[in-house]
Structures are given as structure tokens and as C-alpha cells.
Chains A and B, each alone.
Chain A
């Protein structure tokens, strides 16, 4: 048994059913009894030998044929030991209840709501167990259950609640609410009391320019101060996880572009890494270098986009135009590389789609000659600007401990001074072969997160320049006839290649039975893919751990006490993208 698991089994011999390490992929996992889960969870969080203080993800799986139908899967991470642990608990269909852990890890609050919404497992003691991604009044069950149809009910015109395309627009029949019946969102003026005492509800979004998509937040206001913020997610929910259950592993790839459409490359990277971990594939060296270079270019693109929009939210409009000017150069480069600008679909299982040409490399080097000047230009506009400082310093402060407890990742966590970067903790690509540092903030306010992201751009430049110098020659795609389609010229000349080509495109490849979690550092934080394979060519369950969703879980905590105008700043500082948040 792995030494990390020994104290758990010694302390809870009857609660732990199995404690194992995956022999191929190295994942540690425990199967526990659902009714002992809460006591065990407290121990896992508090005991210093384990110190599993970071909640990464909560996932659920449905096995309709088993006696205990549902499985709740927790992904925990110990930041001090650098170890991940997966805990699985089975619940039966009749009960479908498990105790909440949302008071031990506050980040579990949203994650448990998601499991309840999509799988219908109730969490005993959860403070606010409501649907989160589906509409509140959704009555047709829980979509991720296997008995829920994967197909929609057809063409748009068959939905009776949608307006028909070919029908004339009906007259609006309901009259407006008369003035005297209208609910007044106004505080009562009491005689002798100048202060207004009642609180006001303000509905912000879903159509609001600063919410970066369709996000709605209901704010409870005391004057102009926010006393409670209630995010209402799910306006962009497409059901990618359910969709993926009907697609082969290769077909899921274009759908990952649409998660965080600002940084599609890194989404591709996160997904192909998860699949490669599942099937145990190694990637050629040149492909690893190309992947790292492109992922870092994408990080610069993502951070430029973030800088422009955050400055625009706060009111500095010029920065937005300038960052988009640089972003354009890099998007043109992506276009030359893979033929698309935004939804790139460039990474492949086992390598990449196209090689870096000398032209692209010289464009990149040319870009890096002028890029430092451009960053200095943004700094003249922002770094010492008193308006920028007043709007970012001391706004949305979160301490390192709280940030870990909420499960935050990426620059939002590092702004609070926690050195958690998957590229350092579990190096992938060629991050362990180049020199770079993890920039850390001190105060955990918006300014520190701004500083961390600016420094990360410098570090990305460092990484890319070293990678370009070291770039070896060689193939860019692994050779594995069972998994990777053979090169096109061979398909019509070699019978065996043709057969493999047909099998891979019609049936897809079949990974071995198993499950794995793989997290990748994307510009927004940790994007994780949890895959369960039942040995067929389609994923049995695919769970996306999206950083934006988990950051929204800390929104209420971070927004309390600040002004309405700071709400836009907080959206900006998360670098939130709703395509990824709502999935």
C-alpha cells in the first residue's frame, strides 16, 4: 500500500473498502462507505500527515445495473505534500443521499450543487441545495443519469415554448403591471432616520457588458455596498459532458475548443493529456516542445485578452485596443499554423496536427523582439495610474488559506501567495527542461493578481524562447496504429493503413477499462478532465473541472462589503469565460 494511504486505513479500517494505487497511471484512490464519509473527510482535511486542503473536483457517475447505483467521486489535493487523492463513495438509488462537506471545503458548495443538479444526489446539510446549471423550474429529471436521453427532442419547431420561425409574431397580451401594484424596490423613509435601512435587490446581468458572457448575479445591497452576491449560472449550459458520452474520444476534441473559447489551445491540451494518460501513450519529443510553445503562446493571448477586458471593465479603454493589436499578431500565427483563429482544434491525441514552419518560428521571434516594449507601454498606462491603483488595490482580497479552501487555482490562487502551479508540481510537456519561475502575489487583492498575470507573460516569453532554441527535429505525431489515424498518403496505398483508417474513424479506439484525472494549467487556472472508460470507444463519463465555475463559488465571499462598481472588477480579476463556467 502507498504510504500516503496508511494513516487513513489505520484510523478508519471499517470505513475504507479499498485503498489502492492505479498501477499504470499512479492515481491514488479510496473506496469508502458513504455513511462514514463526513468523519473521514474531516480527518483528511485536518490531519497533518494528509493535509488534503484543496478540493479539486466533485464528480458523479451513474451505473444503472449496480446495486448501489450512483458513485460520488471527490478529487482532493494536498498542496503541502503535492499528492492527489481520489475518493469514491457509492449511494443507492432509493436513498441517493450523502453528507455534505461544504463546511469543510467551502469550494464544495457549488460542486455539490452541480452534482445534485445533474445527477440528483442530495447532500444532507448543504446550506443551499438548488439547481445550478439547469433552470430552477426544470422538471424533467437529472440530465447526466444514464436513463436520461442523450438525444434532444428534435428540430427547434417541435419545442412548443419557442417562437416558431415561420409564424407571425403574436400580439403581447399581458398588460404591464399597474403602478400601484408594482413592487417598489425602495427603502422606506422613516421619519427622523436619515439612513435607509432596508436592503435592495439588484439584478445584474445576464445581459451586462462586463459579465463576460451571460452571467447573472443578484446583488443584495446596503446602500451601494454589496451585502450578499448570488451568482446565477447556467445561461450558457450546453451539456458538453452529456454530449461527450455519445462521441468517440477523437470527436470530443473540437467540442473542447468551445469551453474557454478565448484559450482554445490549452483546452485541447488538457483534453489530449487526459486521454493520453488514460491510454498510456507517450508523445514524440518535438511534439512535446511544439505543444509547450503553443500552450505558452496561448497563455500570452489569454492574458492579453484578460488585461484588455479588465482594464475596459474598470474604465481604461486604450489598453483594450493595444492588447488586441498584439493578440491579432498571435491569432494570425495560429491561423497560419492550423487554419483557424479561435476554435483551433490543433492538438491531437499523440501529438499535434501541423508542424511549426520556419516562417512561424521567425514570426514568433520577431514578435518577441517588440513585445517587451508593448508590455512597458501597458505599464505606463496602468502600473502607477492612480485610478487603476484605487480600483484594484485592496479590492476583492482573499487570503491564501481561504483561496485554498475555496479550491481556487491559477493566477487567482497565486495572487494570494500560494505557489501552486501544475507546471511545477507535476511537470508535463517540457516545463521541467526550461528555466522559469512562478510569480507570486502577497496581499491577494486585484492588483496582485494583475501583477501575477503580467509577470506570467514575461515567464511565458522566457519559456518559449528557450523552447525555440532547444527545439529538436523529429516526428510530431506518435505512431500507434490502434489509436492514431495513419498518414493520408499511406491510406490509399497500403491495405493495412486503410483498414486502420476506417476502424479509427468509424468506431474510434478503445481505451482499457479505467478512470483517471488529469489537470492542466491553463491561463485561467486548473482545467481538469476526469475520464471514466468502460472499455468502449466512447467515454462512459467525462467530467470537466473548469476553473471559472469554481472561481464563481468564491464570488459571494469575495464581493461582500465592496461597492457595485467593484463587481465588474471581480469578474475581470477571475478572468471568467462563461463557455467554460457553464459548459
Chain B
């Protein structure tokens, strides 16, 4: 039995390693620095690419972006979306979504629908407080989705045909086709 063993024995009898652990926890008590948020009173700053509640968007003149192409419905892995598209009454070559439903009880928030939309008519907001007492309240229609978009995206894009000269020739339904810049 060497002196090393005596030291070990003293450490064992005095609960040395437990005391070290206690010291670590107590030092945290003294240097108390809260890292938790008092949630309903304090809220986190969410990043701009946060994948929260889905919303339908509008152009800056108030018209809906959605052209009723059904791509979001096809892309959705859990069949959240149902689109009923129709022709715009006065402009037969132009389509829009007559009805648009989202069953948010099944949504995975994967963002594939946003990726799929060719006209960026869908957006993911930073809303996450969507707990409800009745699940049926999560079955959203077009008006509700547009309202979510209106309150989350105050800055709206210009109509597609005014964004870039190239885009207009896809949609012959536009009445005034802006001319391409000829150099």
C-alpha cells in the first residue's frame, strides 16, 4: 500500500469526486445566467427562412398569385392540399384557383409545396402558435390562407409580367404584354 493508495482512500472517504461535481453545480448557481425564455411573455427571434404556417400570397395590386396549376397538390407528400382551378371569367386563357383547401392537421412543414410553386404563390410564415381546441379549425380555406399571407407579408411583389421581360410570353392571357428591351 503506497502513498497513492492512501490518497485514494482519503478521496473515497471524503466523497471527493462527488464534492467536485457539487462544486461545479454550485458555481452555476452563483454565476446564474438564464438561458431559457419565459415563453408566452418573451418570444424567440425567428430566422426569415423559418418554415411555419403556410399562406397564400398576393401581388402588389391585390390580385392573387395562384394560377391553379395544382403543382403544390402533386408535390405534397401527405396530401394536405386540394385545389379546384377554373378559368378567369373574362380572360379565358388565364386560370386561377376557385377553391383552395389545406388540411393543416397533416402538414409536415417540409416546404415542398413552396418549392414546387412556379409563381411563388405560397409562402411559409413565421407563425407557429396554431393550437386549437377543435381539429376542424385547422382545415383552412382560401380566404383564411390569403388572410395569413396578408398579415405576414406586407411587402408584395410586382405582377409577374412587370418583374422581368422574359416571363410574359408564357402567359398569352395578359392583356398588355410589355415589350422586351431590344438592344
| Chain A residues near B (Cβ < 8 Å) | 165, 247, 250-255, 257-258, 318, 325, 328, 335-336, 338-340, 343, 345, 354, 377, 380-381, 384-387, 485, 488, 491-495, 498, 501-502, 505-506
> Taking CB as reference atom, which chain A residue is nearest B46?
A335
> Taking CB as reference atom, which chain A residue is nearest B76?
A251
Q: How far is the CA of A491 from the CA of B67 in the complex (A)?
A: 15
| Chain B residues near A (Cβ < 8 Å) | 12, 17-18, 20-21, 24-25, 35, 46-47, 49-51, 71, 74-77, 108-112, 115-116, 118-120, 124, 135, 160, 164, 166-167, 170
Residue pair B77, A318 in contact (C-beta under 8 Å): no
Residue pair A339, B77 in contact (C-beta under 8 Å): no
Q: How far is the CA of A318 from the CA of B20 in the complex (A)?
A: 14
Chain A residues positioned under 8 Å from B18 (CB to CB): 385-387
Residue pair A386, B17 in contact (C-beta under 8 Å): yes
Chain A residues positioned under 8 Å from B50 (CB to CB): 335, 339-340
Chain A residues positioned under 8 Å from B108 (CB to CB): 254-255, 257-258, 343, 345
Say which residue of B46, B71, B77, B166 sits within 8 Å of A252 (CB atoms).
B77
Residue pair A492, B160 in contact (C-beta under 8 Å): yes
Chain A residues positioned under 8 Å from B167 (CB to CB): 492-493
Say which residue of B24, B51, B118 sits within 8 Å of A340 (CB atoms).
B51
Chain B residues positioned under 8 Å from A494 (CB to CB): 166
Give chain B nearest CB distance to A163 CB in angstroms: 14
- Given contacts A488-B120, A498-B170, are A505 and B75 in contact (CB under 8 A)? yes
Q: How far is the CA of A485 from the CA of B110 in the complex (A)?
A: 16
Instruction: Pull 29 A–B residue pairs with CB atoms less than 8 Å apart, ordered by A.
Output: A165-B135, A250-B75, A250-B112, A251-B75, A251-B77, A251-B112, A253-B110, A254-B77, A254-B108, A255-B77, A258-B108, A335-B46, A335-B47, A339-B51, A339-B124, A343-B109, A345-B110, A380-B24, A381-B24, A385-B18, A387-B18, A491-B118, A492-B164, A492-B167, A492-B170, A493-B164, A493-B166, A505-B75, A506-B71
Q: How far is the CA of A364 from the CA of B20 in the complex (A)?
A: 30
- Given contacts A254-B77, A380-B24, are A325 and B35 in contact (CB under 8 A)? yes
Give chain B nearest CB distance to A114 CB in angstroms: 24
Give chain B nearest CB distance to A450 CB in angstroms: 16
Q: How far is the CA of A343 from the CA of B35 in the complex (A)?
A: 23
Give chain B nearest CB distance to A362 CB in angstroms: 15
Give chain B nearest CB distance to A39 CB in angstroms: 44
Give chain A nearest CB distance to B98 CB in angstroms: 20
Residue pair B25, A339 in contact (C-beta under 8 Å): no
Chain B residues positioned under 8 Å from A165 (CB to CB): 135
> Taking CB as reference atom, which chain B residue is nearest A384?
B17
Q: How far is the CA of A493 from the CA of B35 in the complex (A)?
A: 47
Residue pair A502, B49 in contact (C-beta under 8 Å): no
Chain A residues positioned under 8 Å from B74 (CB to CB): 505-506
> Taking CB as reference atom, which chain A residue is nearest B110?
A254
Say which residue of A251, A257, A336, A377 sits within 8 Å of B24 (CB atoms).
A377
> Taking CB as reference atom, which chain A residue is nearest B118?
A491
Chain B residues positioned under 8 Å from A493 (CB to CB): 164, 166-167
Residue pair A339, B111 in contact (C-beta under 8 Å): yes
- Given contacts A336-B47, A501-B118, are A385 and B111 in contact (CB under 8 A)? no
Chain B residues positioned under 8 Å from A338 (CB to CB): 49, 51
Q: How far is the CA of A491 from the CA of B111 in the complex (A)?
A: 17
Closest 3 CB pairs of A and B: A254-B110, A251-B77, A339-B51
A sample of 17 more A-B contacts (CB under 8 A), given A328-B35, A380-B21, is A247-B77, A253-B110, A254-B77, A335-B46, A336-B49, A339-B50, A339-B51, A339-B111, A339-B124, A343-B109, A345-B111, A380-B24, A381-B24, A385-B18, A386-B17, A488-B120, A502-B71
Chain A residues positioned under 8 Å from B71 (CB to CB): 502, 505-506
Give chain A nearest CB distance to B69 CB in angstroms: 8
Give chain B nearest CB distance to A108 CB in angstroms: 32
Q: How far is the CA of A531 from the CA of B71 in the complex (A)?
A: 26
Q: How far is the CA of A258 from the CA of B115 in the complex (A)?
A: 20
Give chain A nearest CB distance to B145 CB in angstroms: 19
Chain A residues positioned under 8 Å from B75 (CB to CB): 250-251, 505
Give chain B nearest CB distance to A297 CB in angstroms: 16
Give chain B nearest CB distance to A162 CB in angstroms: 14
Residue pair B47, A318 in contact (C-beta under 8 Å): no
> Taking CB as reference atom, which chain B residue is nearest A251?
B77
Residue pair A492, B25 in contact (C-beta under 8 Å): no
